[in-house]
Structure 1
Amino acid sequence: MLEILSLSVAVIALIVAQRAHGRIAWLTRRIAALEAGQGAPVAETGAVATAPVKDVPPAPEPRPVVARKPARPSIVARFLPWLRANWIYPVAGLSLVMAAVFLVQYSIEKGLLSPAMRIALALALGLSLVAGGEALRRRWGAGQAGLVPATLAGAGVFTLFAAVLAAYHLYAMLGAEAALLVLALVALGAMALGWVHGPMLAAMGVIGGSAAPFLLGGGGPPPVLLFGYFGAVATLGLGIDGLRRWGWVSILAVALPLVAGVLIAGGGAPSWGLALLALWIALLGTALPGGRLVPGAEGVPLHRWRARPGLEVIVAGLSVLGATLAILTQVKAPESLLAMGALAVLLPLWTARAPALADLSLIPALGLPLAVPVAGITTPLLLSMILNLQSWLPQGSVALAVLAGLAMLWRSERAGGLARDLWAILAVATPGATLVAVEVFWKPMSLLGAAWPFTVMALAAGYTALALWAARRDGGQGARLGAAAAAAIATIALALMLILSAGALTVALAVLLAATAAMDRRFDIPYLGWIIGLGTMAMGWRLLFDPGLDPILLGEMSALDTGLTLLAVLAGPLAALALIRGLPAHPARDWGRIIAETGLSGLIPVVLAVAIARFVDGLSPHASLGLQASVLIALAAVQMARARALPGSRAMLWLRRGLAGLLGFAAGLCLLANLTLFSPLAGPGFLASPVRGWPVLNDLVLAYLAPALMLAWTLRHRPRARFLAAIPGIYWLALVIRHLWHGGARMGLDTGFAQGELYAYTVALLVAGALALALALRLGVTGYRIAGLALIGLAAAKAFLIDASGLTGLMRVGAFLALGLSLVGLAWLNAWVTGRMAGSPAEPPEGVIR
């Protein structure tokens, strides 16, 4: 009885306190009104003599200053002050719920009532609280009653939920279906009460309705009808909140049913039900939060999130993003592909009258090609079977992407300005990206045969028709024409990749690249610069990775195909650059030009090195490592050149620099291994191998001279780092001399040194010193002169300390006579160079780098 007495006292105290609170508020407003009516007396002033005023031209009318709309505080920022001022209401509601629980517990402990009477008592108490709250609201209204009616009604709703769950779990008075039906009715009643009592009741209805199936439990897979149930909960929550415009209740109505659907799909329910639920929530979430049946949101779009988009836009973005993630991660193929395609087709049409939601179409447009590789994760063991049994799926995915592109193209026609071009680019990119994803991850050529290249060419024909249509609509200019033409060329290239051999394909791509540049020159379509840049990248990709260097170097590719490949890799970008030379500047065209120029700067040395290696009899390990180092250095140089030349964001700049650093580090590792473990000086063994080839013209050129030349070219703008190129260069020269005296099979240090070999090293040091002095005179760089003197000093020290021990008689006399005369000549050359450099201007001539 104590619990019942406490419950009664709490209800009476709440009513009395609320009446007193309303009375105090009325008195406060009355006092403020009386104080505002007493104005301060105004002092009387006499007439003031005024001097004549000269005519002054009127000041220009100031421009109206548009006041910035203050940022709307977040939900948390609004909730915390509310909780500080109204904490008594949640505590009171919790107390009422606990009183009901304790009442039922007391009846169980004392054995006073039967189970049916206990449930009936709990239901009666819940209904009484709801009725009491509604009576208070109707008697005094929301102004004087405050949150007391909502508190009582909320406590009643929770009591009803607890009573139904107790009837199901404790006493088995209801079956699972009946319990779910009653819980759904209670949730529906809570949302209906929220219409008049405020958002808390509506939120309670959404939360209770979403949690009801999980509170019931039960074995076996969940029934598919639960997806429809969660769709109804989302519809009611979005509908009520859309008319009352609370905002945050819509977030619950989107998130909770979607999460519940994901959970029951994970519990064994068919995934196609989750796909339908996600589509339903995505479409409703873009319309109902604005109080409309069709989307019509205006204002700040979601991508301008710093400008604080409205809750209607935020809910729409959450619904589309949540639906996309649910389909991608939880729905198996082929339903995932079909659902993503349907969302990509419907969303541009559905949001046609909602300019603030235009950017949301990008989400399913990205999700459709992404669903292709993700299908291998969500359907890991059955995907191959699905593709074999449903061979229409690759072509069907592309067809859905084409329909989505047509919907986006329709939006492009309705839009204007930049939005017109962006819609067109998205319309072109969506089918192309889906086609590439299907080809890369599913390899449908083995399944469909010739039908797959025919599908690719059909899409290329569609792009060509789109380009012709855009040329007529836009006067032969614009992004729509450029994007369609670029996509047509890229799709034709993909079709050629599917049907041609390696060498023929590279030649075809080169011809296509030149044809693209010719089209740009003839019709002035600057957006084809994208294809020129991407085509140059494709040339490098084919040379280095697919089919790559191995078939060329190992002789798996015929000499004719090798020659055609190497020629086409250089001829395609060169022809494109020659054709677009002199055309007006444009961002897309300039980007393609820079990519082609920098790509050629890396491809030319690689092609030369590969051509030499192709015709060397076998490729030794040190030659292979040197070739790899040359390729990596060339790629690093290309990335650094693009970082300097291409405009872009700071992130792209650091990305290119980071990529260049990684490539340079890999090249350094290759060179270090070549100078130590794989060096011919290590002698024949597990890693080292003999030198192959003639004197001077052997595989040492690939192993050491090619990386040295690549380093010298790459570091031409960095004087302080040029010494790095000298390391493999000097090493190559020393090995060439040793090869002359010992041959390719006796290069190891364990064979010792020949006397003539030592003299050759001395002569090489003297010649290198003389060349350094000549460079110092030519370039006016003091560092070269110092290096030359160091080399000459090293040669002299070597002659006295090493060479002299092996000479006797007249040979010793002649050798030191020649050394002395050489040193005298070099000393005179050094003095002459020093004098010329001292008499030259302080700054070197233009174009000389110190």
Structure 2
Amino acid sequence: MTAYAFLLLAVAAATAFAVLKRRIDRLERDLQALEVRIARLDGRAQAPAPRPVASVRTTIESEAARARAVEAETSMVREDAPTAAPPAPPSPAFTLPRLSFETLVGGRLPIWIGGIALVLAGFFLVRYSIEQGLLGPAARTFIAALFGLALVAASEAVRRLPATRDDARLGQVFAGAGIASLYGTLYMAAALYHLIAPLTAFGAVVLVTLGAMGLSLRHGPPTAIMALAGGFLAPLVAGFDAAGIAPLLVYLGLFGAALFGLAVHRRWGWLALAASVAGLAWTQFLIAVLDGRGNLSAIGLYTMLLAGGASAALPAAGLRNRWLRLAPLLVGLLQLVAIAPGLDFGPLAWSFYLVLAAATLVLAWRDAVYLPGALAAVALLLALEGLGLTAMNRGATPVGALVAALLFTGAGQALAGRGRQWIALALLGAGGPVLVAHLLAPTLLPPLGWGLLELGATLACARLAWMLRSDADDPALTAATLASALLLTVALAQPLPHGWLSLPLALVLGGLALWARQVRAPSLFALPLLWLLAALIAAALPLLDIASAIFASLTGDRLPYRELPLFADLLRVLALPVAAALAFLVADPRAFGRTRRAAAILAGTSAVLLLYTLAKQPLAIATPERFLAWGFVERALFTQAALAAGWALLRAARLPRLARALLLLGLARLTWFDLVLLNPAFVAQQAGPLLAAHLALAAFWCWTLPRLRVPAALLSIAAALAAIRWTAHGTLLTGPIGSLENGGYSAALLLLALAWLGRGIAAGRHDLRLAGLGLLTLTTCKVFLVDAAALDGLLRILSFLGLGVALIAIGWAYSRFLARPAAAPEPPPVT
């Protein structure tokens, strides 16, 4: 305890030193400015006024004659009068040299340390008498009072003594020490020993306070600092809990009020701030020491009054720094939140907080500096509400939160025209407490009750959005719209059955898009994306099931249908928001604003997943038998749908990115599933002529698009080979390759090469001619290297004979084509 007292005294001494240094520096600057001003005034008084030349000449002659006469008289007086000694210069006033280490340690600190030592000497003398039992309570109190009065009398004496009156610090030290001692004496007499009644003690405190104010007016700030340090340290030295917490808080409250009054009277903002810090430090100390053991209601009342009084006193005392003016208010609100659990979140705890919050709003109404404090009060309100609703005993939390919501919402709505911070206050007050209560304590009200409550909060926020409507990017308009949409979504979801969140999400998404079109504010167009994201998050589990099915399919699983979610559930949780998003993307080019591309990707991907799941439903391939009968059919339909849609969009020059994505998807599906992973030639499935038709149709889509000629040629070759395979094997294409089938492949490739060459020659298509020649070369190599090894006798002879004749004919025809002269260009028209 003694170490703590010394620490506080050291802090008080450091504060006093800093204040005195600032005052001395300011006085030195004022003195220099005054000397400069006096010098300027003297110069102006000595400067003669201009006169005419003639009058100046006459004046000079008369003044010279008068000066000669005066000099003669003076010389006669000097000869007759005795020599007189020069007058003694006046004694200078007491001043300290400029601040340095020597003057600080040798001339300034000892006086103040000595004053602190006097106060400690008095306190510890009384404490020693208590411990030793030397004096009774009345004698101890009387001696302490005499000691304080003696110090005050000493302060007046040193002001009058010739040896000390020039050093004002001596009077300041004695006066401050005396005031501190008298405060401590009154605390002992009333709280410790009960020697005087409470009313008498109050009157005595008032008298001492008036005396302290008078002495501070007489001696200046140092006396006030000493009084502050002594008054706040007196209970700590004497034992803060010796007489109970309530009398201590009454004492601290009266002492703080006296200091606030003195600070306001003398415009000492630093004194009001120091009193606030010391008072709130006492509150924090008591909260930590008591640890929830009783008297918390008294501490809460003291905290509320101190924070409110400090917030009113600081500007009246001349303090201009906005954050210093806010500090006591914020600390007081935080301390009330810390006290509330000890009061079981009862009416007292909420009353203290609401009264201080209301005082914050009044201060913010009168001075905009306190607006951040009002916003902080709302944030702390949400923290207090959360603590109360999650506690074992909720106490008055529901009612207190409702009153606080009405308080902040009403103030924000009434003063919304003053600035954006009031709008933020109204939005937080309307939506914050309701949403926190619904999240943490959903059983407080039935679903319909929550819906009505949230609908009322929606109307409050929507009023602000309507008031702020404009085509400008106003953050307040965006915030009001966002809060209204959020509250409306939650309100609409309450009467609906479980799992139908997509309906309010879709409705609000559409409402936001229409509101953005109505207001034309650029920032509002992006808000529907948030509701689309919310819908995707709400449908996360079904989407994960679809992703799992797709992954299983890509890795070779023949029955991915078993991984898919129920299509009815997927429609219920996702279809409506995705449909609404796609509708606005198609109908309004401004929909979703800067996030249009992201919205298109999300909505388009979700729509594809929905269509994929829907397309899997008719065949429902969940068994190996179903896969054997319908597996290839289903894959071919999916692939052709993607290719046809992409082809149609690209030919119509609409949505080129989506068209290219669909074409790439179709070609990737065909390559991976039909030619590599689940090729009907290796995996048993009913393909037959469908494979050839499937590949030929895919080749057709690609032949009509100039950039896909290479995939078109490859697909054409694959279609020809598939036709031969179907002819050789029937509907099931698995099995070995026979010699007749092998020859059929060569014949089909040869015919295809001839068709390309013929079409290329007829249409002048260089790419087709090159493709035909290339395929012809490959076919020739196949016949010589593969087919010849499998044939024997007459078949080999006929094979080579036919190939030779065909090659000769092709070479002759192609050489004739190359030998044709180029067509002469047409002459230009005659003009």
TM range (shorter): 0.5 to 0.7
**Aligned twin of 1:382:** 393
What residue number does 2:375 align with?
A: 362
Closer/same/farther in 2, CA of residues 318 and 537 from structure 1, 3 Å limit: same
Work out which of the residue numbers 268, 272, 276 in structure 1 matches 2:301: 276
In 2, Cα distance between equivalents of 1:615 and 1:328: 58
Is 1:566 the counterpart of 2:564 in the alignment? no
Counterpart amino acid of residue 488 in structure 2:
I
Say if 1:260 and 1:98 are closer, same or farther in 2 by CA, change over 3 A.
closer
Higher Cα radius of gyration: 2
Match status 1:331 vs 2:340: yes
Corresponding residue pairs, total: 592
Which residue, 405, 411, 415 being the options, matches 2:415? 411
Match of 1:508 among 501, 504, 513: 504
| Alignment CA distance shift 1:540-1:410 (3 Å) | same
CA contact (8 A) 1:227 1:277 kept: yes
In structure 1, C-alpha distance between the alignment counterparts of 2:196 and 2:676, rounded to whole Å: 92
Summarize the Cα distance change of 1:610–1:401 in structure 2 as closer, same or farther, 3 Å threshold. Answer: same
**Alignment map for 1:463-482 (pairs within 5 Å):** 463=461, 470=467
Equivalent-residue separation in structure 1 for 2:439 and 2:519 (angstroms)? 29
**CA distance 1:319–1:568, shift in 2 (3 Å):** same
- Residue 422 of structure 2: aligned partner: 423
Instruction: Tell me how far apart the structure 1 counterparts of residues 222 and 614 of structure 2 sit (CA, whole Å).
Output: 77
The answer on whether the counterparts of 1:514 and 1:575 sit within 8 Å (CA) in structure 2 is no
AA in 2 matched with 1:454: L
Question: Does the alignment pair 1:525 with 2:519?
Answer: yes
| Residues 345 and 154 of structure 1: CA distance in aligned 2, closer, same or farther (over 3 Å) | closer
Q: Is the 8 A contact 1:93 1:154 kept in 2?
A: no
Among the aligned pairs, what percent are the same residue? 18
Q: What is the aligned-residue RMSD (CA, Å)?
A: 6.7
Q: Given that residues 542 and 565 in structure 2 are in contact (C-alpha distance below 8 angstroms), is that contact kept between their aligned partners in structure 1?
A: no
Q: 1:311 aligns with which of 297, 315, 320?
A: 320
Residue 154 of structure 1 corresponds to which residue in structure 2? 176
Contact 1:130 1:153 in 2 (8 A): yes
User: CA separation of 1:107/1:256 partners in 2, compared to 1, >3 Å: closer, same or farther?
Assistant: closer
| 8 Å Cα contact 2:371/2:421 also seen in 1 | no
Contact conserved, 1:97 with 1:155, CA < 8 A, in 2?
Answer: yes
CA–CA distance in 1 between the matches of 2:266 and 2:609? 73
Contact map agreement 1:187 1:209 (CA 8 A) in 2: no
Q: Is 1:93 matched with 2:104? A: no
1:318 Cα deviation after fit: 0.8
Which amino acid in 1 is paired with 2:456? A
Structure 1 residues 156-184: Cα deviation after superposition (integer angstroms, max 9, x where no partner): 45666788999999xx9779999x96997
Structure 2 vs 1, CA of residues 253 and 816 (structure 1 numbering), >3 Å: closer, same or farther? farther
Q: Which whole-Å CA distance do the structure 1 matches of 2:429 and 2:490 have between them? A: 16
Residue ranges of structure 1 left out of the alignment (5+ in a row): 1-20, 43-79, 298-309, 583-589, 618-692, 706-721, 746-763, 789-805, 833-850
1:352-751 → structure 2 map (5 Å cutoff): 352-375=365-388, 380-383=391-394, 386=395, 393-394=397-398, 396-413=400-417, 415=418, 419=419, 421-444=420-443, 447-448=445-446, 450-463=448-461, 470=467, 487-521=483-517, 524-526=518-520, 530=524, 533-545=526-538, 548-549=541-542, 559-576=567-584, 581=589, 593-595=593-595, 597-609=597-609, 612=612, 694=631, 733=672, 737-738=676-677, 740=679
Q: 1:190 to 1:212 in 2, by over 3 A?
A: same
Residue 691 of structure 2 corresponds to which residue in structure 1?
A: none
Name the CA shift for 1:210/1:817 in 2 (closer, same or farther; >3 Å). farther
Q: 1:732 to 1:370 in 2, by over 3 A?
A: farther
1:683 alignment counterpart: none
* Partner residue, 2:310: 285
Q: Distance in 2 between matches of 1:221 and 1:601?
A: 73
The correspondence of residues 71-110 of structure 1 with structure 2, limited to 5 A, is: 87=105, 88-95=107-114, 97-98=116-117
TM (norm. structure 2) is 0.54
Structure 1 match to 2:86: none
Would the alpha carbon gap of residues 596 and 112 (structure 1) be closer, same or farther in structure 2, given more than 3 Å must change? Answer: closer
TM, length-normalised to structure 1: 0.53
Unpaired runs of 5+ residues, structure 2, are 1-23, 48-97, 547-561, 618-629, 643-660, 685-694, 715-735, 754-766, 775-831
C-alpha separation in 1, matches of 2:614 and 2:234: 72
2:222 is aligned, of 200, 221, 225, to 200
- Whole-angstrom CA distance in 2 between matches of 1:318 and 1:407: 22
CA distance in 1, matches of 2:351, 2:581: 40
* Residue pairs, 1:86-235, within 5 angstroms: 87=105, 88-95=107-114, 97-98=116-117, 114-115=134-135, 124-137=146-159, 144-157=166-179, 188=209, 193-217=215-239, 223-224=245-246, 226-235=248-257
Output the CA distance in 2 between the equivalents of 1:403 and 1:604.
Answer: 46
1:122–1:163 Cα contact (<8 Å) kept: yes
Structure-1 residue corresponding to 2:281: 259
How far, CA to CA, are the matches of 2:587 and 2:270 in structure 1? 58
Match of 1:236 in 2: 258
Paired letter, 2:425: L
Cα distance in 2 between the residues matched to 1:113 and 1:402: 59
Structure 1 CA distance for aligned equivalents of residues 127 and 429 of structure 2: 65
Counterpart CA distance in 2 for 1:546 and 1:143 is: 86
* The structure with more helix, counted as a fraction of residues: 2
CA contact (8 A) 1:231 1:277 kept: yes
Instruction: Name the aligned partner's letter for residue 409 of structure 2.
Output: G
State the 1:440 CA deviation: 2.0
